[in-house]
A and B are shown apart, each in its own frame.
Chain A
Amino acid sequence: MKYTEEHEWLRVEGDLVVVGITEHAATQLGDVVFVELPETETMVAAGDEVVVIESVKAASDILAPVDGEIVAVNSKLVDNPGLVNEDPTGSAWFFKMKVDDLDVLDQFMDEDEYADLIG
């Protein structure tokens, strides 16, 4: 598992990258009440806002961590946004991306580095 400074986790599944938010991020957001997912088969660039997530407190975005194509989204989250708080690193993944080269993930933090970041 890799981690971004935006508190996303990235997991490789075959030739795809699965993206979610960390437990730390879910706790900070508070109870999630709304999730808006991107269309599949969309090309995105690193830094694009691809998911909108609203908690009881505020709205925030989830950014595409790398360039690639959105090939799947977790539509369960639309009907059950609370899953993001219940199981952020498991069943509450947001989207899957196809990337040119999985080596692009090398730039991100590993678990120890992320643990240091959130202190």
Chain B
Amino acid sequence: MSDLKRLGLHDLHVELGGKMVPFAGYEMPVQYPAGVMKEHLHTRSAAGLFDVSHMGQVILRPKRGMEALCLGFEALMPVDVLGLAEGRQRYGLFTNETGGILDDLMFAHRGDHLFVVVNAACKEADVAHLRAHLGDVAEVEFLADRALIAVQGPGAEAALAALVPGVAAMRFMDVGIFGWQGAALWVSRSGYTGEDGFEVSVPEAQAEGFVRALLAQEGVAPIGLGARDSLRLEAGLCLYGHDIDTGTSPVEAGLSWAIQKARRAGGAREGGFPGATRILRELAEGPERRRVGLRPEGRAPMREGVELFAADGTPLGKVTSGGFGPSVEAPVAMGYVPASYAETGTVIEGEVRGKRLPVAVAEMPFNPTTYKR
């Protein structure tokens, strides 16, 4: 694994018994000794700690005022940036000229700048994209010296509040800066599991102490990428490069909720983002295909790549993520099907090891979310 980058907390993961595997150019802990199933269930019943420091952290500092910065950022996404209040975070996606998705991200308004978190595999391309398009309105600062730690689950608030009491007052998608032992923690109340929880950017130098202090709290256990994937799958959340990519539009992907009124037809700042023609058309007329939740009727998991068919044999699409849902106690999946097959309850077929097995289109999330709204 010599070409792979190491996390700042690599040695701690090894000490905790983490099994390190290559992911997005990093050696990442896929699981700890408890294993994927127990780690998943632990996160839903207590609190899971995830090291997601491989993700990209970027600050956009305005050169000509926040309004110009927000409008410049808006030109890259079908999202209302200008309307985001200070101290709040929002989901965004960079689109391309054909309405596909270059990456999905979180961005926060922190008064005099924006803080952006992007996917690990896309971070170099995203920074280049930002520098190419926002050069006149923003300094694009890529932060290589901060770890990113998520703590998720019903015990997350108590665990983090034991170190930083102020976080208990935060609501879902609030952001704030809190001091802890001389370090500035950048906290958001958000995550990627469907649970209430927090994501905390912490300076590399204090990261180990911070993580050890969290792990010392009752009910907090380290959780690997394996459970992170099954948790987000049960929550119906997209994984970039699998469920969404440069060929899928936000509307097809079921992410229209991320496109606020201001950017839609008739909105104050209608269009004006890459791929607007297709995206606005799909919002008005409906897309040709949709990302749907899938519940295999048998016990066999339908994983990424499983081909989907109508009962009459017509090919419909493919599973983009799938596996066993430990909280659902059954296999769950998501994939794309023509809009005419997207209605909940529609039974189609997925081909597993040469056999066509029944699978029902289902509502997502598969497991109820517990965000603190």
Contacts and interface: CB of A to CB of B under 8 A. Distances in A.
A59 interface: yes
A54 B296 CA distance: 14
A74 B326 CA distance: 23
B76 interface: no
Contacts of B36: 30-31, 56-57
A9 B135 CA distance: 64
Nearest to B296: A34
Interface in B314-338: 323-324, 326, 331
A34 B353 contact: no
Interface in A25-51: 30-31, 33-34, 36
Contacts of A56: 35-37, 226, 230, 323-324, 326
Q: How large is the interface on A (under 10, 10 to 19, 20 to 34, 35 or more residues)?
A: 10 to 19
Contacts of B300: 34, 36, 52, 54
Nearest to B37: A31
B332 to A, nearest CB: 11
B31 interface: yes
Contacts of B301: 33-34, 54, 59
A110 B299 CA distance: 35
A104 interface: no
Contact of B324 (A33, A36, A52, A78): A33
A75 to B, nearest CB: 13
B303 interface: yes
Contacts of B353: 52, 59
A36 B323 CA distance: 16
A52 B299 CA distance: 12
Interface of B: 31, 35-38, 226, 230, 299-301, 303, 323-324, 326, 331, 353
- For the complex of A and B, list the 8 residue pairs with the smallest distance between their C-beta atoms, beginning with the closest: A31-B37, A33-B324, A56-B36, A34-B299, A34-B300, A54-B301, A56-B324, A31-B35
